[in-house]
Amino acid sequence: MRKPIIIGNWKMNTNLSDAVVLTTDIKNHIGSLDIDVVLCPPSIYIYPVAEIVDRGPKNLEVGAQNIWFAEKGAMTGEISATMLKGLAKYVILGHSERRSHFAESDTLVNDKIQTALKNNLTPIVCVGEIKKMTESKNRGRPTKIDLRSDIFTQLKNTLKNINRIDAEKLIIAYEPVWAIGTGNAATGAYASDVIEKLRDIIAKKYNKSLSERIRILYGGSVDSENVREYIYQPEIDGVLVGGSSLKSKEFIRICKEAAGRE
The residues assigned a catalytic role are 95, 175
Strand 122-127 to 60-64 pairing = unpaired
Sequence-distant (6+) residues with CB within 8 A of 225 are none
Least CB distance to ligand PGA at residue 215 (A):
15
- 125 vs 118: CA distance, rounded Å: 15
Least CB distance to ligand PGA at residue 104 (A):
14
Q: Cα angle at 28 between 244 and 240, to 5 degrees?
A: 30
DSSP H helical ranges for 144-226: 150-158, 164-167, 188-205, 208-213
Q: Using CB atoms within 10 Å of the CB of residue 51, give its burial: 0 to 12 exposed, 13 to 18 middle, 19+ buried.
A: middle
Total residues found in the chain within this entry: 262
Q: Cα angle at 151 between 179 and 127, to 5 degrees?
A: 65
Least CB distance to ligand PGA at residue 229 (A):
14
Residues that bind ligand PGA (CB under 6 A): 9, 175, 180-181, 219-222, 240-244
Judged by CB, which is closer to ligand PGA: 113, or 126? 126
Judged by CB, which is closer to ligand PGA: 26, or 241? 241
Least CB distance to ligand PGA at residue 145 (A):
21
- 173 vs 195: CA distance, rounded Å: 9
Judged by CB, which is closer to ligand PGA: 122, or 206? 122
Judged by CB, which is closer to ligand PGA: 42, or 243? 243
